[in-house]
């Protein structure tokens, strides 16, 4: 078992800072996801932890109590001695070895007993649904099967730290869902530290104990998945995480009048909502604060009849999705997306009344940072 610590780590490629002054403490036994759009520096971070990339003369990297890289005192431990398991998107299986031998390779080099090797390979192959493929050669497998062999080959070594770079990207959506569950189970069973790179926010939310959201080489937020979802640190995280995408409005936060010092009123486009539990951001004092307001689609209140705190809109479009319905609703000059979990029994252009759940309103200041965390 081992924790991983990056202190002020930077990696430049020419003028591009692929990773920019990254501080990250990955707890022993956690399942940490590096999440962000293409090019944000996820893979470069993973490669620096693995030792496949060297930081640009700054910072330190620690694995457990070993410093594996230090710019100031010249420490550098090569990849093979870092005792990590690596699975990358592009995996290289030995073409002349069967699936069994590909998976068993590391155990055989370690001179484990034959019966033990057969048991371990069989167990991991069952978990990854490749138990009936053990006698085939890689060129007789689909891309998804090859990818699972690559994962099995690493898992069978029971590494204390497992680095996975988009390992499920070649799998179809059903298998990907199954494999997420298997990896999560495996993590619970082995308690190994897993660092998992993905640009898929659903993958990050469903699998991780902690999510590190990155953009342009910088860490945006590092918290558990539910906090990242409900309390995004800034507009980037709010926008990147969630499907359908969060709705943004221009708005203003003002102190609520009834009880001085307690509660705020947020206007978001045409909508107004009072939040009793929130206080004005200290910097704003008692002055109205211009904000960008974020509302997730499931945080609207949608009604076919008028009600307190609701404003009238009209149905622009209805998208049924089995267990939920996505409603595009025109409110004033804007079209918002709301999710409801029962048949709204509405038609296009029907009037509809919309409000916002107060406890779910997210307000961001002009620089895009979250203010008024309820
Ligand atoms: P993806 O999801 O597309 O794999 P990523 O978030 O993993 O993206 P990185 O691969 O870490 O991003 O790349 C970060 C930035 O560094 C990008 O702008 C990329 O073009 C650049 N970069 C990465 N590797 C190199 C390299 N070897 N030479 C030059 N630039 C590089």
Residue 276 is part of a domain; what is its CATH number?
2.40.50.140
Q: Are residues 296 and 204 in the same domain?
A: no
For atom 12 of ligand 1, the residue with the nearest CA is 39
* Domain count across the chain: 2
Which one of 18, 56, 218 would you pick to mutate in the ligand 1 pocket, going by the greatest count of ligand atoms within 8 A of its CB?
Answer: 18
**Shared-domain flag, residues 329 and 217:** no
If you take atom 18 of ligand 1, which residue's CA is the nearest one? 39
Taking the centre of ligand 1 as the mean of its atom positions, its distance from the CA of residue 246, in whole angstroms, is 27
CB contact burial 232-259 (16+ within 10 A = b; e otherwise):
bbbbbbbebbbebebbbbebbbebbeee
Give residue ranges with CB within 6 A of ligand 1.
Answer: 13, 16, 18, 36, 38-44, 199
Q: What is the pTM of this model?
A: 0.89
Mutate to test the pocket of ligand 1, among 6, 11, 16 (most ligand atoms within 8 A of CB): 16
Residue keyed to tokens 């990254």: 22
What's the CA-to-centroid distance between 42 and ligand 1, angstroms?
8
pLDDT of residue 296: 96
Let me know whether 26 and 67 are in one domain: yes
Q: What residues of the chain score a pLDDT lower than 50?
A: none
| Ligand 1 geometric centre to CA of 220 (Å) | 17
Q: Which residue of 11, 14, 17, 44 sits with most ligand 1 atoms within 8 Å of its CB, as the best mutation to test the pocket?
A: 44
The verdict on 141 and 260 lying in the same domain is no
The atom of ligand 1 lying closest to the CA of 43 is 7
pLDDT for 245 equals 95
Q: Which of 116, 119, 120, 108 is nearest to 158 (CA)?
A: 120
pLDDT value, residue 260: 66
Q: Are residues 13 and 138 in the same domain?
A: yes
Question: Which domain, by its residues, includes 57?
Answer: 4-240
If asked whether residues 260 and 360 sit together in one domain, one would say yes
Residue 301 near residue 295, CB atoms below 8 Å: no
Cα of 26 to ligand 1 centre, how many Å? 22
Q: Provide the token pair at 7.
A: 């202190």
Instruction: Please identify, among 240, 260, 286, the residue that sits at the C-terminal boundary of a domain.
Output: 240
Residues 81 and 148 in one domain: yes
């Amino acid at each position: 078992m081992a924790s991983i610590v990056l202190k002020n780590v930077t990696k430049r490629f020419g003028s591009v800072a692929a990773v920019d002054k990254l501080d990250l403490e990955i707890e022993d036994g956690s399942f940490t996801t590096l999440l962000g759009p293409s090019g944000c520096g996820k893979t470069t971070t993973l490669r620096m932890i693995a030792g496949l990339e060297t930081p640009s003369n700054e910072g330190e990297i620690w694995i457990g109590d070993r410093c594996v890289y230090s710019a100031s005192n010249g420490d550098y431990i090569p990849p093979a001695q870092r005792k990590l398991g690596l699975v990358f998107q592009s995996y290289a299986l030995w073409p002349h070895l069967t699936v069994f031998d590909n998976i068993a390779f590391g155990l055989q080099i370690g001179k484990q007993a034959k019966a033990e090797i057969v048991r371990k390979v069989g167990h991991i192959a069952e978990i990854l649904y490749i138990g009936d493929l053990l006698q085939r050669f890689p060129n007789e497998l689909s891309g998804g099967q090859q990818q699972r062999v690559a994962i099995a080959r690493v898992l069978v070594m029971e590494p204390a730290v497992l680095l996975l770079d988009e390992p499920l990207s070649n799998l179809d959506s059903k298998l990907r869902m199954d494999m997420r569950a298997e990896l999560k189970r495996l993590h619970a069973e082995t308690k190994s530290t897993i660092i998992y790179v993905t640009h898929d926010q659903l993958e990050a939310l469903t699998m991780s104990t902690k999510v590190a959201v990155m953009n342009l080489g910088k860490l945006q937020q590092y918290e558990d998945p539910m906090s990242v979802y409900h309390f995004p640190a800034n507009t980037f995280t709010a926008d990147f995480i969630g499907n359908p995408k969060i709705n943004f409005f221009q708005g203003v936060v003002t102190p609520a009048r009834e009880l001085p010092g307690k509660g705020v009123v947020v206007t978001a486009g045409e909508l107004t909502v009072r939040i009793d539990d929130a206080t004005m951001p200290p910097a704003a004092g008692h002055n109205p604060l211009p904000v960008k307001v974020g509302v997730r689609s499931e945080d609207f209140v949608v009604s076919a009849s008028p009600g307190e705190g609701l404003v009238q809109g009209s149905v622009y479009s209805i998208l049924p999705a089995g267990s939920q319905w996505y409603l595009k609703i025109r409110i004033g000059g804007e079209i918002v997306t709301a999710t409801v979990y029962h048949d709204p029994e509405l038609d296009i252009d029907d009037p509809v009344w919309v409000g916002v759940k107060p406890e779910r309103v997210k307000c961001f200041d002009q620089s895009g940072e979250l203010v008024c965390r309820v």
